[in-house]
Amino acid sequence: MKMIKLKFDKKDSGLAGGDYGAEIFNSQVKNEIDHNEEVTIEFPENIRIVASSFIQGFFSELIESEGFDYIMEHFTLVTGSKELDKKLIERIR
Amino acid sequence: MILLSVKGSTVTIDTVLASIAIVVSFFTLYIEQKSNKRINEINLDSHFFTEIYDGYLIKKIPKARMDICNKNGTIQGVEKLVDELNNIRLDSVFYKYKDPVFFKEVAEALQNLEDYLAESINKTYDNIKYESFLEELNAKILKIYQVITSNYIGNKKKKNGLPFFYNLKK
């Protein structure tokens, strides 16, 4: 299993925007993953809010090419709180 | 009284009036059917709207809005409202297929506020900036209410912007 720790500006505790999400995926994740590999994406602990636009933009390319189920099967999202982990999954839809 | 006489046949005023009455009756019936259909659609929509949105508009959004405050120059308590906005979006998915125009409008209004809230916690606020934040916050909430309630009372925007009779199915 691959673990990728996302990096953001330290003052940012809220993430929003589809373009920003896609930009983070392309710059920090895309070239680090192999097809069918299980991946854990770890958000910094200070991230308190991840808007649906961000997470949808983040996975937009993969959803388009592989489908939603592929994301569910291959990706685990980890934040500073389990409650937010669960919300992130719901917000991908 | 004879009104016209053409090649031996006659048309009386009574005949003309009866013909007009028949045409008017058919037209009235047609309009009434269309009107009833529209009323039934609105009633059905009202049922769905009540099921989906009443709880959010009346209680959940105002309650979540009350959590938001400014503590030492940072915005706190936006999580609950962000959660409710996402819940509304998920509950509205039904309209993605039933009324895509409405769904797009609702989704945009919800996304707009959600992004605004998520970004707000990255900034610092003095009293003036916080006042301005609250004004914009309230305007974005109002927009959501307007989009939802205007559809609720039947003020649907037609896809092509033409009056209703251009959009009646043939």
Sort strands A49-50 and A14-15 into parallel, antiparallel or unpaired.
parallel
Q: Which of B161, B147, B122 is nearest to B56 (CA)?
A: B147
pLDDT of residue B166: 46
pTM: 0.79
Count CB pairs under 8 A between chains A and B: 47
Which residues of A fall within a CB distance of 8 Å from B84?
Answer: none
Rounded Cα–Cα distance for residues B153 and A43 (Å): 43
ipTM of the complex: 0.93
Q: Tokens 């999580």 sit at which residue?
A: B79
Question: What is the spatial distance between Cα A22 and Cα A3, in angstroms, rounded to a whole number?
Answer: 19
For testing contact with chain A, the best of B86, B110, B116 (most A CBs within 10 A) = B86
The residue-averaged pLDDT of B56-77 equals: 96
- Residue in A16, A48, A52 nearest the CB of B119: A16
Residue A3 is given by DSSP the state E
A76: nearest Cα among A39, A24, A49, A37 = A39
Q: What is the separation of C-alpha A1 from the centre of its chain, rounded to a whole number of angstroms?
A: 16
**Cβ distance of B114 and A16 shorter than 8 Å:** yes
Q: What span, in angstroms and rounded, lies between the C-alpha atoms of B68 and B66?
A: 5
Residue B118's pLDDT band (cuts 50, 70, 90): very high
Helix axes B79-91, B13-55, angle to 10 degrees: 140
DSSP A36-79: T--EEEE--TT--EE-HHHHHHHHHHHHHHH-HHHHHHHEEEE-
Cα atoms in the Cβ-side hemisphere of radius 13 Å centred on B86: 26
- Flag if A93 and B90 touch (Cβ within 8 Å): yes
Q: Is the pLDDT score of B44 beyond 90?
A: no
User: In which band, very low, low, confident or very high, does the pLDDT at B59 lie, cut at 50, 70 and 90?
Assistant: very high
Of A12, A53, A90, the CB nearest to B115: A53
Can you give the pLDDT of all 93 residues of chain A as single tens digits?
899 999 999 999 999 999 999 999 999 999 999 888 999 999 999 999 999 999 999 999 999 999 999 999 999 999 999 999 999 999 998
Rounded to an integer, the average pLDDT of B149-168 is 56
Task: Band the pLDDT of B106: cuts 50, 70, 90.
Answer: very high
